[in-house]
Chain A
Amino acid sequence: MRFLELANRNLKETYRDPLALGFLLGFPLVFMLLFVAIFSGDTISSYPIGVIDDDNTPLSQAFIDEALAEVPALEVSNYDNTVTAMEDLKFGDLTAYVVIPQGFGEQISRNWQGEEADITLQMTYDESDLMLSEQLISIMNVVTRSFARIEIPITINANPIHIETEITYADFMGPGIIVFGILILIPTSARIMVRDKEKGFLARLLTTPTKPVEFILGYSLCLVAVAIAQIIIFMVGAWSLGMAIVGSLWLAFLIFFLTSLCSIGIGMVVASLSKSENQAEPLCWLFAMPLAMLSGCWFSIEMLPSYLRAIANAFPYAHTIGASRAVLIRGVGLEAISSDLLFLVGWAVVIFAIGVILFRRSMRS
């Protein structure tokens, strides 16, 4: 099997080069450690929030006493009405207050019985600290969702502005960081291939009866090994960063793996189009950086204008972040993310086909 020989050679060339190996494995590691350092420890302090229970049912009581009180980041105190709560908010004694509206208990119990009922919470907070409010909303969201045991997004009627976010900060960042790492596979893949091109080793191999598909397979197998090692590092890193892992690890791994294939594919296409590392490198970053922003690695893409979201959704990475968050944090199963998985598979197939076609074309200029 020629492609196995090529893959073998490519792997040796990669793991015997301390600098390359250091970059491939060390970079994700350093990257993860940095994020752990930034987001762990005292940075997330606890927020004093007030709760007004307008529902006043056993379920709403349980929600306050068992669910909200269990969150380390929250310091919950009960209020009778919004007037006093608002006063404390204005004085800065509270960062926010939440109103549990009437019918909350009923909505929860309907969800427990398998119906998909909308759940509504009212939250008022100081809008001057956007970061804080976003974190609070996401915490509320996760707590409520886990209490209601549902996968559908719940509605939080936030006041004064409505922001739909989904998760706590660490949970939110985890998949994003992993996807950012996978995006970096684009320049990595391109580099490995284009270096052979630049140094003429590829031209030498092109005088052998090796077929374009075998070349692509040879490079991808090597890169897949690199990708698997990186995903493991990222997942372990994200877990130690405090990312909740509720759902199937294997399913999450599958999502990340398929995304890696897309990155490898993009890298190969770029490599086929460029003559040297100097050409390939900036071209890769031109893909990777905007995609990292558009796909929601660092912030939620809900706030993006619709045309930017459309661009983001045309690439795999936004789907990956959505699907992996659903699996890791909400614990959804294969069915719920099957359309995202299909999209990723389709994308990988198409980009590899393009890679082979471009490679064949560049084989004989």
Chain B
Amino acid sequence: MTSDRTESTKASDNLAIQTFNLTKIFNGLVAVDSIELNIKKGELFALLGPNGAGKTTTIKMLCCLLKPTGGTATVMGYDINQQPFKIKEIIGVSPQETTISEHLNAQEHLNLIGRIHNINAKELRNRSQELLETMGLAERAKDQVRKFSGGMMRRLNIMMALIHNPEVLFLDEPTLGLDPQARRAIWEYIVQLKGEKTILLTTHYMDEADFLSDRIGIMDKGKIVALGTSSELKTSMLGKHTMIIYAWNLTQKVINEMRGKYDEVRVSDGTMMISDKQLDFKEVVDHLHSSGAVIRSAYIKEPTLDDVFLRITGKELRE
């Protein structure tokens, strides 16, 4: 199997996915803008970005569903333009839309995908049993899936991507539109897979990317605008601290004083937000207190990926 993979250098041997100027243009609209991405084997990489950032288009190109307009990519050494069927043998894909066959039961879905991948009967039985149990669908295995809840369908969607034990897993918005409980259940399962498989996940939930991924690529308008681990992104990209104060009696005078002292001060409805590289909690509180403001609460806010996104792109992650 390894013999016909494209020649690769030593350095790229431990890479599962590599993109080279990967570009997709739809009728003049640049959906993916020459992205360069290296994802290591066994890594869980999250593409984070708002709707329309180009995440799904990127995944579709890597799954050989879309032909790139320019550039190329390799998945486990196979070229997406030259060897699509080789890639399709070793990947598992959970598409963004819950794509199920209404009148089949859960077991039949797994059998279908398993048999298409020529998994032998015994392995298929064992794996589907195991998946049904870990994903909590064992009792509903024989029910037609049109009776399933949204969460159950999403879980089945992911199971179908896993049944043939793929080397690389693509999860496109795995928890889109699910309630917090169902999201947790799916997160827990994905965490179990970490290290075992290379996973490329897209999401527009920053907490999802934060919780699950080894590395995050923030995507906006078809470009990867930031790349790193969650903490790298938060600290090195920002390098600033933010303090939030709820207070009564904030006079224009004290607001102006604060604006003179710190980089960024914003006030609305009795809430003051102060950002700066250096921020002393006590100093701020004392200053406000001495100017007659009545402080109800004050805290240092940890930066979130949302802040990172806002800082880089100038807009909120969720519109």
Contacts and interface: CB of A to CB of B under 8 A. Distances in A.
Nearest to A16: B103
B104 A204 contact: no
B254 interface: no
A199 B99 contact: yes
A204 B95 contact: yes
Interface in A167-212: 196, 199-201, 203-211
A205 B104 CA distance: 15
Interface string B88-131: 11010101010111111000100011011100000000000000
Contacts of B95: 200, 203-204, 207
A5 interface: yes
Contacts of B84: 364
Nearest to A205: B116
B66 A365 contact: yes
Contacts of A210: 116
Contacts of B93: 204, 207
B97 A207 contact: no
A200 B65 CA distance: 12
B245 interface: no
A13 interface: yes
A11 to B, nearest CB: 10
Most chain A CB within a 10 A radius of its CB, from B84, B89, B103: B103
Nearest to B97: A200
A12 B103 contact: yes
Given A208-B117, A364-B84, A9 B112 contact: yes
A329 to B, nearest CB: 41
B41 interface: no
Contact of B103 (A13, A196, A204): A13
A203 B94 CA distance: 11
B85 interface: yes
Given A204-B93, A204-B95, A364-B65, A5 B144 contact: no
A206 B65 contact: yes
A201 B160 CA distance: 12
A12 B108 contact: yes
Contact of B99 (A9, A17, A201, A364): A201
Contacts of A207: 63-65, 88, 91, 93, 95, 170
Nearest to B160: A204
A149 interface: no
B170 to A, nearest CB: 8
Interface residues of B, number: 28
B67 interface: yes
A209 B117 contact: yes
A155 B115 CA distance: 62
Contacts of B65: 203, 206-207, 364
A365 B67 contact: yes
A2 interface: yes
A209 B64 CA distance: 10
A208 B116 contact: yes
Given A207-B91, A365-B67, A201 B101 contact: yes
A204 B67 CA distance: 16
A13 B101 contact: yes
A55 B141 CA distance: 81
Interface in B230-272: none
A83 B316 CA distance: 99
A22 to B, nearest CB: 14
B99 A5 contact: no
Contacts of B144: 16
A13 B100 CA distance: 11
B91 A17 contact: no
A200 B94 CA distance: 11
Contacts of B102: 13, 17
B115 A364 contact: no
Contacts of B103: 12-13, 16-17
Interface string A1-36: 010011011001100110000000000000000000
Nearest to A208: B116
A209 B89 contact: yes
Interface in A347-365: 364-365
Contacts of A211: 85
Contacts of B113: 208
Contacts of A5: 112, 115-116
Nearest to B81: A364
Nearest to B59: A207
A6 B112 CA distance: 7
Nearest to A207: B93
Contacts of B99: 199-201, 203-204
- Give the interface centre of A9, A196, A205 by most chain B CB atoms within 10 Å: A9
Contact of B104 (A2, A9, A206): A9
Contacts of B112: 5-6, 8-9
Given A204-B93, A364-B65, A364-B67, A13 B104 contact: yes
Contacts of B97: 199-200
Given A201-B99, A364-B64, 7 more contacts: A5-B116, A9-B101, A204-B93, A204-B99, A364-B65, A364-B67, A365-B67
- Top 7 closest A-B pairs, CB basis? A16-B103, A200-B99, A207-B93, A209-B88, A204-B99, A200-B97, A5-B115
Interface of A: 2, 5-6, 8-9, 12-13, 16-17, 196, 199-201, 203-211, 364-365
22 contacts: A2-B116, A5-B112, A6-B116, A9-B101, A12-B104, A13-B101, A13-B104, A16-B144, A17-B102, A200-B97, A200-B99, A203-B65, A203-B95, A204-B160, A205-B116, A208-B113, A208-B116, A209-B88, A210-B116, A364-B64, A365-B66, A365-B67
